[in-house]
Amino acid sequence: MSATLEVRNLRTHFHTRAGVVKAVDDVSFSVDAGQVLGLVGESGSGKSVTGFSIIGLIDPPGRLAGGSIFYRGQDLAKISEREMRSLRGNRIAMIFQDPMMTLNPVLRIDTQMIETVQAHVNVSKAEARARARDALGMVGIPSPEERLNAYPHQFSGGMRQRVAIAIALLHNPDLLIADEPTTALDMTIQAQILAEVQKLTAEHGTALIWITHDLSVIAGLADRIAVMYAGRVVETGEAADVLDHPVHPYTHGLIGSVPSRNHRGERLRQIPGMTPSLLSLAPGCAFRSRCAHATDACAQEPPVTETSPGHTARCFHPVSS
């Protein structure tokens, strides 16, 4: 069976006045139906741009500069905007980081939900509203019928994110891209929402890409993990492999040296140094300036090597642990 989504050598570049920003530079990964992929990386590593590339929402000066995005075998990089729009919000949905900003402040919740239903299926307004109400109930919003008439500002942050999730799941998508949807919320609500999204996507066999800068968030959730650094995937593998036996020095730094089966709740360790500017990226390994294992060889482009079956790293000197 082919993967729900397979991203191959994706490149997304922004042509700014200061130069070309290679926000996503040769990224590959895949997600199967019902699977969860954790996409991890520091701020600015290109996680959101990867997500927006998949859903076709890269605006100028950005553009896809290469690679393929196979959704059920169909290359999204090649289809028309019209075809893409029929998938967007329907088969492929996305939720964003800041729940305070994702809902339009001057439109009622029902308006924002009904339009989503009617954008993809030809149903009456009453039918669309009924579906919207059911979706709200499904994500745990009390008295959904009344809440439909409310405006976004009448909800708390956590509730707003639930509304956004309800909207994203209206059409039971095949793929949901969750771009740090819980980062702005407090811990308990974060955990609740995480569990709920996982349950809902698992029920419908939805492939889930969970973007986060915090490994501990997805430690207990992800089937596979892809670690991004400076626009590249530096390590991928089964979640347990990556968490317990990280091979890339960057991943090592993220996790810390203490191996532990249960990484949930573990604090992130700071890696010394700064994320390099994507504008003036020297050839070779982008992590070089911060890497304790760096050698002269690292001034060259590191190859992607498979350290164990299904576990790859982009490094000259993979760490064994």
Partner 1 sequence: MFTWLLRRLFQACFVVLAMTVIVFVGVHVIGNPVDILISPEADQAERARVIAAFGLDQPLWKQYALFLNGLLHGDLGRSFVFNEPALRLIGGRMPATLELAVTAVLMSVGFGVPLGLYAGLKPNGFIGRSIMAGSILGFSLPTFWVGLMLIMVFAVTLGWLPSTGRGETGELFGLRWSFLTWDGLRHMAMPALNLSLYNISLVLRLTRAGVRETLLMDYIKFARAKGLSPARVIFVHVLKNIMIPITTVVGLELGSTIAFAVVTESVFAWPGMGKLIIDSINVLDRPVIVAYLMMIVVIFITINLVVDILYTVLDPRVRLETKA
Ligand X SMILES: Nc1ncnc2c1ncn2[C@@H]1O[C@H](COP(=O)(O)OP(=O)(O)OP(=O)(O)O)[C@@H](O)[C@H]1O
Q: Which residues bind ligand SF4 (CB under 6 A)?
A: 249, 285, 287-288, 291, 293-294, 298, 302, 315-317
173: helix, strand or coil: coil
79 counts as binding partner 1 under rule CB under 8 A: no
According to CB under 6 A, which residues from 257 to 286 bind ligand X? 278
CB 211 within 8 A of CB 10: no
Q: Give the C-alpha distances (Å, rounded to integers) separating 182 from 171, 172, 260.
A: 22, 20, 24
Residues 6+ apart with CB under 8 A from 205: 33, 34, 174
Q: Which stretch binds ligand X (CB under 6 A): 40-48, 115-123, 218-226, 251-259?
A: 40-48
Interface map 214-233 toward ligand X (x if CB under 6 A): --------------------
Q: Which is nearer to partner 1, 96 or 229 (CB)?
A: 96
93 counts as binding ligand X under rule CB under 6 A: no
47 counts as binding ligand X under rule CB under 6 A: yes
According to CB under 8 A, which residues from 119 to 158 bind partner 1? 119-120, 151, 153-154
Q: Which residues bind Mg ion (CB under 5 A)?
A: 48
Partner in contact with 23, chosen from ligand SF4, Mg ion, ligand X, none, beta carbon below 5 to 8 Å by kind: ligand X
HSE-CB at 58 with a 13 A cutoff on CA atoms is 25
Q: Which is nearer to partner 1, 21 or 254 (CB)?
A: 21
Q: Which is nearer to ligand SF4, 8 or 288 (CB)?
A: 288
Q: Is the peptide bond before 61 cis (omega within 30 degrees of 0)?
A: yes
Enclosing H/E stretch for 176 = strand 175-179
Tell me which of 5, 7, 23, 233 binds ligand X, using CB under 6 A: 23
CA distance 152 to 104: 7
Find where tokens 């020095």 sit.
249
Roughly what angle, to the nearest 10 degrees, separates helices 157-168 and 187-204?
Answer: 10
CB 224 within 8 A of CB 236: yes
Q: What residues make contact with partner 1 under the rule CB under 8 A?
A: 52, 55, 57, 85-90, 93-94, 96, 98, 101-108, 112, 115-116, 119-120, 151, 153-154, 164, 167
Q: What residues make contact with ligand X under the rule CB under 6 A?
A: 14, 16, 21, 23, 41, 43-49, 61-62, 213, 278
